[in-house]
Amino acid sequence: MELNVGIGNVQLKNPLILASASYSVSERGLEKYIRKGFGAVITKTTTIKPLKGSPLPRIFWYDPDRKLMLSGAEAVRNPGMERMYRSIAAVKKLAESENCLIVGSLAGNTAEEMNHIAKRFVEAGADIIEMNMVCSATGPHLGPDYERLGSYWSQTPERAVEAIQGVKSTVSVPVWAKCSLSSMIKEEFINKVDKEARPDAYSFIGGKIPCLVIDVETGKPKFPGNVLLQIKKKIPICPMSHGPVKASTILHTAYIARLTDTPLIPSGGFYKGEDIVEAIMVGSSAAQICTAIYRNNNAANVFLKDIEAFMQRRNIESLGKLRGTSLQYIPAPPLLKAHIFS
């Protein structure tokens, strides 16, 4: 059985990509998950200088018994470019020996900042650059260092084009654009970015829904520190969390796959190997895993066993050949509708 998949001109030994999060913030974390069997690992999103991120609390389970709804409002908390440069360089040989690609995730307040980080990451040994243009937990309420981080850059196609063009002109490795889902489902956004910026892949987080959970012991709602700060500053809020959203992720992947030929790398609600197969069948090239790692840091091994069992059961020799096979049964937009709750 062949588990390898292609993302444009890049080949991964399997479709599992470790998403950017707190577990990939250091050399130790990257090394740990390179050894876990992922096809690629993504560093914690990194900025020019270290950022403290959102006030506490940052990461907690809204439903600690089921562990399906995770608050991850870190607001790009990271050790800074030079520290991450050293971490990438330190694990490069291990990654090569494990046939695991290193993806350097970056964010910046200006295109120039992003260009500089991308260059340093490639010098350190990053095989791919991912541009974080999706983080919704950042913003001016956290201070001037956060004013244009994250989702600012994918709010309009013009900003996305400026950012992506800059990085692609700076480095020779593939560049993945991680954009907000609300922008990705707009045909005019996709068309302009595809034509003028030509990213090597799009990554995105599947459907999010507003979430309000009450701590019955105190009667108070559970809000991450980022939202608490917004309330304090009288900024309107719409509480969000990563919930059991796989069905939404699958729908949006199928929808976006009809809008672009650029490879897609979704995340959101993937908890077993067959979830990844499902995403591939509706047009994704691979998938990023995040919340499942917080539940079980050996999730990659479980996912891969699930995928192998599926392929054996269905007598499928090549996983990559399943890409998009379900789209023939799904109507194209506008008959297939995509919607973002906010």
Q: In degrees rounded to 5, what are phi and psi of residue 202? A: -110, 135
- Of 184, 186, 175, nearest in space to 206 by CA: 184
In the structure encoding, which two tokens stand for residue 211, read together?
A: 């979430």
- pTM for this entry: 0.91
Q: Which residues contact 166 (CB under 8 A, 6 or more apart)?
A: 111, 112, 114, 115
Dist CA 278 CA 250 (whole Å): 7
CB 243 within 8 A of CB 209: yes
Residue at 60: amino acid letter: F
**What's the angle, vertex CA 166, arms to CA 165 and CA 168, rounded to 5?**
65
Domains of the chain: 5-329 (3.20.20.70)
| Helix 81-97 vs helix 111-124: crossing angle, to nearest 10 | 40
* pLDDT computed for residue 340 by the predictor: 62
**pLDDT tens for the chain, residues 1 to 342:** 899 999 999 999 999 999 999 999 999 999 999 999 999 999 999 999 999 999 998 888 888 888 878 887 889 999 999 999 999 999 999 999 999 999 999 999 999 999 999 999 999 999 999 999 998 888 888 999 999 998 999 999 999 999 999 999 999 999 999 999 999 999 999 999 999 999 999 999 987 666 677 777 788 878 788 888 888 999 887 665 555 578 889 989 999 999 999 999 999 989 999 999 999 999 999 999 998 999 999 999 999 999 999 999 999 999 999 999 999 999 999 999 887 654
* pLDDT computed for residue 231 by the predictor: 83
In the structure encoding, which two tokens stand for residue 153, read together?
A: 């850059």
